[in-house]
Amino acid sequence: MNRAAPAPLAFRLNGAPVAAEPRAGERLSETLRSRLGALEVKVGCDAGDCGACTVLIDGAPVCACLTPARRAEGRSVETVAALRESAEGRALAAAFEARGAAQCGICTPGMMVSAAALLRVEGPKGEAEIERALAGVLCRCTGYRKIVAAVADAAAGRIAPAPVEGGVGAGVIRRDGAEKVAGLTRFGDDLAPPGALVLRIIRSPHPRAAFAFGDLEAWAAARPWVACVLSAADVPGENRFGVIPAFADQPVFAVSEARFRGEAVAAVAGEAEAMARFDPEDFPVSWAPLPAVESPAAARAPGAAALHEGRPGNQMCRGFVARGDAEAALARAAHVVEGRLETSFVEHAYIEPEAGFAEMKEERLEVSACTQAPGMDREALALILGWPESRIRIRPTAVGGGFGAKLDLSVQPYLALAAIRTGRPVRIVWSRSESMRASTKRHPAAMRVRIGADADGRLCGLAFEGEFDTGAYASWGPTVANRVPVHASGPYLVRDYRAEAQAIHSNNPPSGAFRGFGVPQAAAAAEPLMDELALRLGLDPLEFRLLNALRDGEPTVTGQVFAHGVGIAACLEALRAPWKARRAAAEAFNAEAKGPLRRGVGLAVGWYGCGNTSLPNPSTIRAGVTPEGRIVLHQGAMDIGQGADTVIPQIFAEALGAPLSAIEIVGADTDLTPDAGKTSASRQTFVTGNAARLAGLALRARLLALVNAGEGARIGSGPEGLTVTEAGVKHRPSLSALPPDDLGYAIRVEETYDPPTKPLDASGQGEPYAQFGYAAHIAEVEVDLALGTVRPLGFVAAHDVGRAINPLLIEGQVEGGIAQGLGMALMEEYIPGRTENLHDYLIPTIGDMPPVETVIVEAGDMHGPFGAKGLGEHALIPTAPAILNAIAHATGVRPSKLPATPARLFAALRKDGA
């Protein structure tokens, strides 16, 4: 008996009638995106955990990824697109922009529609109500506080005009903010053309296993919808990649043995409808699990299998810094404290999973994907394909959060191979569990620290040993191993010092870059011991740190001396008043406490060297003026939410002497923009910002010379063309008479900046960074002694940024960094095979994040553009140790493993009899 075809699904989408024919059981999110083109609906998890896909059905917020499409029959569905024309939508958009409440923008559509639902109903709209309304939507960038403030502003109708103009020092709104709040920004899964093939990767279900394929050709031939099957045999160039050439060791496809759960062994490209039903279990591969080493201790044990040739004991590399004689100094110290701390794998948990598409354009390959490093992507693909780089174009999409993991190759090689093989556009988006299995993590660490001080409280010796689980492949492990010993001292004057860090291979996921490159782990180990020393000496923790703070003209542990710009003492001074007030308030609360709640206030400091460690680190910026007088900036620094697309133009505009609104931007594209280097290591404001400053000055000199104007002139561009105004007189340079160059510019400049550094010698002495940024955080917490739970109550964060290019974006970076530090300290623990979704892996929600007071300190740097320093990593580094010190202040207990979960803290409290 023939069944009748299901009737088309009909409903109203953003006020207009629509119809679609979804598959049986299809989710509303897929119907909206794939069949109706509503790409403003974002999918981050497909499990209802992240809330990015939130839409309104008859005015009520729902997760579209959990809602069967058929449930929309005859109803009204609204996405963020509907808000563009509504009063509450316009108010929210203006407030989100003014507050800087959208950073990467991937969660913003879900936040906006959830907020709109709140604004439409009667009742109070205070902070508690806002947090409840938005509780189902996760954000990994902002720290939530600016989102709460924006919704409160919209509800109260108190939206201040958002500044859109200004150079260095102006808190202008993001240049890409309007697109983000409107849901128009296109991310990795939003740009593939209709009819593109869909690619799926076959991955190892075991941490270590031998494998063998069946008859792949016969399997594919029996499935007409399969366009190609790929394995290691289909890699024409080098079947390996890595971010550091000397350590490149990760295969595109494993050969005969998989080294971690989630490793790619093959890929299948096919027609979209069929691939939606594809089950990887159907793929002809057999597995033979092998003994795995799943910790550094197991990897170093006698008889442990070696993961890589030439790395005995599974040691990938070692970092080392020594100055003076640490052991002798500790021996003569009046007071010595010692501590051990273990940290766990931490997942980046960006809301946008890895995604992109690739296609051949005549004889050239074009790859569009979410990436932090388009230049590195092109270099790596050239080696994998055996092609010259000139045949490869990387066109990055917007990036829905990166934090380091999107520096490594992810989808790019698989897309490239499939597009070349089939000659058709190919798309891919990793599932949330796939992303969490296959992406890099923050290194777990086991650290031992010993610190000594003399009777007067001066530090007189510090020894650090750290073992870091770098997983199956190198990724950024060498950077972590070398950066940690430079930073493990903290921003203190330590004349006798020894630090060693080892990166050890295991059959765990590769550990890579994650906001700090190992420095947050080292700070979490050392800073609690600074509190212990202060306690033994009878000194206030802030005063003890001030006594030992590094100052201008004093050597770091690598022997580097900065004549000025060492801002840690200024950060501590800025916290003196809130420190005393909050500490006293906590102690007064505890003195009156009758129940199990106790409060604590902790302090910690941090520093971070901006850019690569003792390595070349150049960025290049191009700018030009068209014959019609348009000023164009080719800005290749990836904006992953931190604000490069706003800050770099601000620096350029300041140097050029032109209004920000006069600058047109050509964004990152390896065909159109010079390589501005990777977005990592807090380098873009500093390094690319300097290149932009140099380009602005060079272009300004050329333009002023055309009209013989002096240094006081201002440059403008508008409908009347280019103008140079001096002393009230407006000149219009004759540009049309200049022959345009190959890019169509009448005048063009290109400038490169590479920070001055010097290599480290065998003892780790040298000048690894041209600048450091400094930070000090206060954390206030409430601990339930009966449950072991910790509730953060507030933070005060002082950051030395050298020169605040954009104070609004600085606040956003600080709040977002603190949220990630809070997660590292209290809840985030990735366990392979167990926490591979955003339900079992916990990140801070809107209800976990308390108020943050940001204090901007400006100890100008001699190398930074207009004195500016990087910030991205610094915002996270002091947070976890400040929380640990606050827990100790409240309870007298110092956790020895992060995260300090309720179970761990409860056990420690019982052990100490608290």
pLDDT tens digit sequence for 846-899? 999 999 999 999 999 999 999 999 999 999 999 999 999 999 999 999 999 999
Mean pLDDT of 14-36: 97
- Which of the four pLDDT bands, split at 50, 70 and 90, describes residue 7? confident
Tokens 């201008």 sit on residue: 552
Query: pLDDT at position 473, please?
Result: 98
* Two structure tokens written together for 186: 């296109």
Mean residue pLDDT of the chain comes to: 97
Query: pLDDT at position 160, please?
Result: 81
Enter the pTM of the model.
0.97
Percent of all residues in the chain with a pLDDT value above 70, rounded to a whole number:
99
- Which DSSP helix (H) or strand (E) runs through 702? helix 689-707
Helix and strand element counts for the chain (H, E): 23, 33
Integer Cα distance of 711 and 726 in angstroms: 9
Task: Spell out the alpha helix ranges (H) of 424-567.
Answer: 432-438, 477-487, 519-537, 541-548
* Two structure tokens written together for 156: 């109260």
Query: pLDDT at position 884, please?
Result: 98
Exposure string over 278-309, b if 16+ CB within 10 A, otherwise e: beeeebebeeeeeebbbbbebbbeeebeebee
Mean pLDDT of 802-824: 98
pLDDT tens string 642-676: 999 999 999 999 999 999 999 999 999 999 999 99
Question: 899: cis peptide before it, omega within 30°?
Answer: yes
Among the listed residues 678, 675, 596, 239, the one whose alpha carbon sits nearest the alpha carbon of residue 417: 239
Contact by Cβ (8 Å): 449, 343 = no
Give the SS3 label for residue 303: coil
Integer Cα distance of 19 and 891 in angstroms: 61
- Say which range, 2-16, 699-713, 787-801, has the weakest mean pLDDT: 2-16
Query: pLDDT at position 914, please?
Result: 58
Among the listed residues 43, 6, 8, 901, the one whose alpha carbon sits nearest the alpha carbon of residue 435: 43
Percent of all residues in the chain with a pLDDT value above 90, rounded to a whole number:
97
Q: Is the dihedral of CA 420, 425, 430, 431 positive or negative?
A: negative
Tokens 């050509």 sit on residue: 666
pLDDT tens string 183-211: 999 999 999 999 999 999 999 999 999 99
Query: pLDDT at position 1, please?
Result: 41
Contact by Cβ (8 Å): 894, 888 = yes
Neighbour count for residue 896 (Cβ, 10 Å) = 15
What are the CA-CA distances from residue 260 to residues 337, 472, 750, 822 (Å)? 38, 6, 44, 28
Q: Which residues pair with 369 in a beta bridge?
A: 356
Integer Cα distance of 166 and 659 in angstroms: 7
Mean pLDDT of 310-336: 97
Contact by Cβ (8 Å): 518, 483 = yes
Integer Cα distance of 705 and 658 in angstroms: 16
pLDDT of 737 above 90? no
Q: Which residues pair with 446 in a beta bridge?
A: 342, 467
Query: pLDDT at position 736, please?
Result: 87
Exposure string over 591-627, b if 16+ CB within 10 A, otherwise e: eeeeeebbbbbbbbbbbbbbbbbbeebbbbbbbbbbb
Integer Cα distance of 311 and 662 in angstroms: 55
Distance of CA 562 to the CA centre of its chain: 29
Mean pLDDT of 262-277: 97
Give the SS3 label for residue 18: strand
Query: pLDDT at position 874, please?
Result: 97
Mean pLDDT of 401-409: 98
Contact by Cβ (8 Å): 802, 500 = no
pLDDT tens string 349-384: 999 999 999 999 999 999 999 999 999 999 999 999
Of residues 5 and 42, the one with the higher pLDDT is 42
Residue 364: what are its φ and ψ, rounded to 5°? Answer: -115, 150
Integer Cα distance of 503 and 486 in angstroms: 15
- Which DSSP helix (H) or strand (E) runs through 132? helix 127-134
Integer Cα distance of 477 and 460 in angstroms: 30
Contact by Cβ (8 Å): 882, 528 = no
Mean pLDDT of 301-315: 96
pLDDT of 163 above 90? no
Mean pLDDT of 499-505: 98
Give every strand in the sheet of 459-471, ordered side by side.
315-323, 497-505, 459-471, 445-453, 335-343
Neighbour count for residue 169 (Cβ, 10 Å) = 16
